[in-house]
Chain A
Amino acid sequence: MEVYLQQLINGVQYGSIYALIAVGYTMVYGVLRLINFAHGDIYMLGAFVAYYVVTGLALHQHPSVGNFLFVLIVSMAVCALAGVLIERLAYRPIRNAPRLTALITAIGVSLLLENGGIVVFGADPKYIPTVLQSSVAPRGGLYISEGQVIMLAASVLFMLILRFIVMSTRFGRAVRAISYDIDAARLMGIDVDRAITLTFALGSALAGAAGMMVATFTSVKITPLFGLLPGVKAFVAAVLGGIGNIPGAVLGGILMGIIEAFVGGSALTTYRDAIAFMILIIVLLLRPGGILGKAVVEKV
């Protein structure tokens, strides 16, 4: 029983990271019908910004909550800026081009970031020294590190803030209007460009936060290809939940995390990724729009 509970915690915690990345995919898809393949690389960028801030300012010598928050905010800000720049330079000039053009551009931007990362950051792995002492105390036989608690709490907090922004602000209303019908929104006097810029900024900041937290708390090696697999899996999570639907992305991400944890801990551990993707196929066969997505009949 304890093992199952522990796996559930592992899964929910890691799933919350997928959820943070998946939200960015789904928001951009919502407004532009574009799958932003460079999104996973923004996650990588978040980890590298954290690495350079921590080692550059020697923050690991005085681990504290303040330092952690500082690094988190810098990573999010740089990633938001990167997201805005990518949209401005790569996606806006081709906004009215066929959708395939945008898709290929997105793949190009992703490759540019990965290989540019190899040139700028170097291909050898880096480790972020601890900025926040994360001790572990067993609670009723379960082992949950403070890092895990912080990651989960931060993810939930970010989701709540996002929900508030999307549901209760003018910007959120603009985004929802655009995702419903971009041309009608423009006719209604909504500044579409500004709303799209903000969407990229918001999604990229969340991916940056995810990258920073994973790199800081799991003491994993970071490389320029750090975002490749999490990016793909978060994209799958977004599709699983129903792409374009924010609560769907969160649900999809957490489900993905839980599935991975249980399969990874079972006898089928070698097939972990295969099973995660198989579940996606099954869900899409039963519900083509994803779990929370609406099935849209397209006229041909």
Chain B
Amino acid sequence: MVRICAKSVLWLSVVTGIVFALGGCKPASRPGASNSSGDIPVGVYLSFTGSTATFGESTFKGIQLATEEINAQGGINGRKIALHKEDDRSDAQEARSAVTKLIQRDGVVAVLGEVASSRSLAAAPICQENKIPMISPSSTNPQVTQVGDYIFRVCFIDPFQGAVMAKFAAETLKVKRVAVLTDVKNDYSVGLAKYFKETFTKLGGQIVAEKSYSEGDPDFRAQLTAIKAANPEAIFVPGYYSEVGTIARQARELGIRVPFLGGDGWDSPKLVEGAGNALEGSYFSNHYSHESTDPAVQRFVAKFKQRFNGEVPDALAALGYDAANILFDAIRRAGSTDPTKIRDALAQTKDFPGVTGRITIDADRNAVKPAVILQIRGKEFKYVQTIQP
């Protein structure tokens, strides 16, 4: 019996060895990387369905617009861009298999995605291991680009975003007492809450209550009742749009009248659908406002509306557009589709004129950019002010 066991273990290790050897060979035969003609395969993994579906849809529209523009101009160095997209269903585990498919099967030279920090964090190690550059359009958690030197982003990070909202609350709204309600299962939410608290207390404010929930909870009355008892002047909810609406509605039902504050995770046309009028007058920080008078923004908004039946691009669409254009710019400057050369070119991006501001990639592969504060009025997000880094 023991002999048989030892034998099968041996066989198993031989088979595993072969599989690994084959797996190891694979990158060499990747179609895109080795070919120097034909379309350039670029991977996109986003949440097209699931709890944050509008994040994926909006971002992809931005990427699509940028790709169509560059292909209409004849592509990069005579080669067109071919987008390969994968849906991760708003699930971190699926995000891993999505990038694996893009890299192994489609042989993409670079990857664009994800919006949610949790999912970017799940997929980034795979891109890093395979030495394929990944650009997250809008993951703001600082850990994302710390995964390795192949991971970039074109948005600001949460230490800045949290500080922006804290400054706005303390200096513009002049509130002293704020309650914080965090989604504990969400890296983005936990990080943003932490940075908000740091700056807000430094500015002399007081965090009167700290409660948490998990994505998918239907009832937030217990947390809100406790928050109400602490008597805050505003409530900071750095979650995603899919829960914020429900939270706001239940807060109003409990007689809480103070405004809510949030981050870029609120940016979705579905926010107001879930909230009804419960978020009227509340504020959130974001990457750009389509109301900006900057001619670059206005040109982008006009092109986007023309392409997508009059739809107004949200910040995620704008960041998707910028992420794609920065990648195309890097491929052009690299003069090659070799992922390592693209990575080097990306790292040298300087003063790129993006829709969401001038983008310079810093030593930590993050973008340094201003943030805007928006206020919810009816179904519109109205521009309030810009805060510089």
A251 to B291, CA, bound (A): 55
Contact B53 A123 (CB under 8 A): yes
A147 to B218, CA, bound (A): 14
Contact A221 B274 (CB under 8 A): yes
Contact B222 A223 (CB under 8 A): no
Contact B53 A145 (CB under 8 A): no
Asked whether A29 is an interface residue with its Cβ less than 8 Å from the other chain, the reply is: no
Asked whether A124 is an interface residue with its Cβ less than 8 Å from the other chain, the reply is: yes
B218 CB → nearest A CB, Å: 4
Contact B221 A221 (CB under 8 A): no
Contacting residues of chain A (125-153) with chain B, CB-CB under 8 angstroms: 125, 127, 134, 136, 138, 143, 145, 147
Contact A264 B253 (CB under 8 A): no
B181 CB → nearest A CB, Å: 9
Give the segment of B167-175, B223-231, B336-344 that binds chain A.
B223-231
Asked whether B30 is an interface residue with its Cβ less than 8 Å from the other chain, the reply is: no
Contact B242 A221 (CB under 8 A): yes
- Looking across the interface, which residue of chain B has its beta carbon closest to that of A219? B249
Contact B219 A10 (CB under 8 A): yes
A3 CB → nearest B CB, Å: 4
Contact A125 B223 (CB under 8 A): no
A214 to B49, CA, bound (A): 23
A136 to B250, CA, bound (A): 11
Contact A143 B218 (CB under 8 A): no
Contact B223 A264 (CB under 8 A): yes
- Looking across the interface, which residue of chain B has its beta carbon closest to that of A11? B222
Asked whether A230 is an interface residue with its Cβ less than 8 Å from the other chain, the reply is: yes
Asked whether B276 is an interface residue with its Cβ less than 8 Å from the other chain, the reply is: yes
A177 CB → nearest B CB, Å: 37
A284 CB → nearest B CB, Å: 24
Q: Which residues of B contact A229 (CB under 8 A)?
A: 216-217
Asked whether A265 is an interface residue with its Cβ less than 8 Å from the other chain, the reply is: yes
- Looking across the interface, which residue of chain A has its beta carbon closest to that of B256? A143
Instruction: Render B254-272 as a binary contact track against A, CB cut-off 8 A, 1 for contact.
Output: 1100000000000000100
Contact A218 B250 (CB under 8 A): yes
Q: Which residues of B contact A269 (CB under 8 A)?
A: 210-212, 223, 226
Contact B222 A127 (CB under 8 A): no
Asked whether A107 is an interface residue with its Cβ less than 8 Å from the other chain, the reply is: no
Contact A270 B222 (CB under 8 A): no
Asked whether A199 is an interface residue with its Cβ less than 8 Å from the other chain, the reply is: no
Asked whether A41 is an interface residue with its Cβ less than 8 Å from the other chain, the reply is: no
Q: Which residues of B contact A6 (CB under 8 A)?
A: 225, 254
Instruction: Render A143-171 as a binary contact track against B, CB cut-off 8 A, 1 for contact.
Output: 10101000000000000000000000000
Asked whether B51 is an interface residue with its Cβ less than 8 Å from the other chain, the reply is: yes
Contact B218 A230 (CB under 8 A): yes
Q: With A143-B254, A221-B246, A225-B216 known to touch, is A264 a contact of B222 (CB < 8 Å)?
A: yes
Contact A136 B253 (CB under 8 A): yes
Q: Which residues of A contact B54 (CB under 8 A)?
A: 124
Q: Which residues of B contact A262 (CB under 8 A)?
A: 222
A260 to B89, CA, bound (A): 29
B284 CB → nearest A CB, Å: 18
Q: Which residues of B contact A200 (CB under 8 A)?
A: none
Task: Name B246's contact: one of A11, A136, A219, A228 (CB within 8 Å).
Answer: A219
A225 to B214, CA, bound (A): 14
Task: Name A265's contact: one of B214, B216, B223, B250 (CB within 8 Å).
Answer: B223
A223 CB → nearest B CB, Å: 6
Q: Which residues of B contact A136 (CB under 8 A)?
A: 252-255
- Looking across the interface, which residue of chain B has its beta carbon closest to that of A2? B229
A145 to B252, CA, bound (A): 10
Asked whether B90 is an interface residue with its Cβ less than 8 Å from the other chain, the reply is: yes
A258 to B54, CA, bound (A): 35
- Looking across the interface, which residue of chain A has its beta carbon closest to that of B49? A123
Asked whether A14 is an interface residue with its Cβ less than 8 Å from the other chain, the reply is: yes
Asked whether B243 is an interface residue with its Cβ less than 8 Å from the other chain, the reply is: yes
A276 CB → nearest B CB, Å: 12
Given A220-B218, A269-B226, 15 further pairs, Cβ under 8 A: A3-B226, A10-B219, A123-B50, A123-B53, A124-B53, A125-B51, A125-B270, A127-B274, A218-B250, A221-B242, A221-B246, A223-B216, A229-B217, A264-B223, A265-B211
